[in-house]
Amino acid sequence: MIHLFNGFQSPFGGSDLETLELYRLLSADAEVRLWATSSRVSGELMRHSPIRRISPLTRNVPDGGTYVFLGAHWRNKIWPYLIPRPRRVIYVFNTFHPKVIALTARMPRMLNWPEAELVLISDFQKSVLQIDGVVHPSPIEIGRFSPRLVRPDGPFTVGRLSRDAPDKHHADDAPLYEALLADGAAVRIQGGMPLKERLALHPRLELLPQGQFAAEQFLLKLDAFYYRTGSHVVETFGRVVLEAMACGLPVVCHSHGGYADHIRHGENGFLFETTQQAARILADLKADPKLRATVGREARQTVEQLFSPQALRRRLDFYLR
């Protein structure tokens, strides 16, 4: 029995989606259960997935086996002391906060749980934190994503995808979008509600709320994917970038993030440090459809290798052993 724990607070959260995909993959080989550790669990997620609320009073609790915490923890909870001891405890750690590791990985003596095993989601994260652990990229069902074979007529379209959170957008991105629009490009942003007050209405600008379209539908309307977060946010992995690559899109991303582990600048995507560099890369992509196609093909091949059946098998065996 494998028990997966997550807050399940958002249908668009990276760790929420990671947990659901790991559930799908592991269920082929083991009995797996999903548990919500937050009282603010998303009703939408509860309706579409077999997520259980932990309730010692009704004996609706994990009953031993392997406990896997993804973006969640047992700290300050009563229920861990009232349930069977797990055989293994695994933490899939997806932040940059070492204090959280210290709080969750060190078990109180009274709890009597085994020593925690740590899974990180990028080499970049492992290097920044300088801690030991296996590295497993956040699993993505790449079969949902396919390259657009025929690009329709229309303006060169730059877009991005994220949650509707202000810190997901960099302060310098609004001027970049304005410059792209002035140069004849179109800009399409899902999760763009925080930008409504910063960008003037424009016929080639679309600001969409998070979740309006499934990622695989939204991405197929783009010619290039652009991504940078706020100055105080760094992505440990950035699954939306890998999803864009799975759609055969050239990605143009800030160099500081876990996704950069998988981007070879100029071959399967582009990395930039400054807004000026990003603008030059996007201008080159706008002017050169052949470059877009070549880089997009390499991007798709990269994702196919990263999530090949053999690579997934090795990662799943870690949980099943």
CA distances from residue 316 to 49, 92, 198, 272 in whole angstroms, order as listed? 20, 13, 44, 33
Q: State the Cα–Cα distance between residues 315 and 101, nearest whole angstrom.
A: 21
Q: What is the pLDDT of residue 152?
A: 65
Q: Are 216 and 186 in contact (CB under 8 A)?
A: no
Q: Is the dihedral of CA 68, 74, 80, 81 positive or negative?
A: positive
Highest mean pLDDT range out of 19-23, 113-117, 151-155?
19-23
Strands (DSSP E) found in the chain: 2-6, 32-36, 51-53, 66-70, 88-93, 116-120, 134-135, 157-161, 186-190, 205-208, 224-227, 251-254, 270-272
| Domain 2-139 and domain 144-305 have a common topology | yes
Q: Are 162 and 209 in contact (CB under 8 A)?
A: no
Q: State the Cα–Cα distance between residues 62 and 37, nearest whole angstrom.
A: 12
Q: What is the pLDDT of residue 151?
A: 65
Q: What is the pLDDT of residue 30?
A: 96
Q: For 2-139, which CATH class?
A: alpha beta
- CATH for 144-305 (3.40.50.2300, 3.30.390.50, 3.40.50.2000, 3.20.20.70): 3.40.50.2000
Coil/strand/helix, residue 272:
strand
pLDDT tens for 192-231 read 999 999 999 999 999 999 999 999 999 999 999 999 999 8
Highest mean pLDDT range out of 1-5, 10-14, 54-58, 103-107?
1-5
- The pLDDT of 80-104, averaged and rounded, is 85
pLDDT tens for 43-61 read 999 999 999 998 888 888 9
Domain limits, the chain: 2-139, 144-305
pLDDT tens for 237-254 read 999 999 999 999 999 999
Highest mean pLDDT range out of 6-15, 66-75, 120-129, 248-257?
248-257
Q: Are 186 and 204 in contact (CB under 8 A)?
A: yes
Whether pTM > 0.95 for this model: the answer is: no
Q: Does residue 149 surpass a pLDDT of 80?
A: no
Question: 12-17: which pairs have CB atoms within 8 A and are 24 or more residues apart?
Answer: 12/163, 12/191, 12/210, 12/211, 13/71, 13/163, 14/71, 14/94, 14/138, 14/237, 14/239, 15/70, 15/71, 15/72, 15/92, 15/94, 16/42, 16/45, 16/71, 17/138, 17/239
Q: Does residue 121 surpass a pLDDT of 70?
A: yes
Q: What is the pLDDT of residue 95?
A: 82
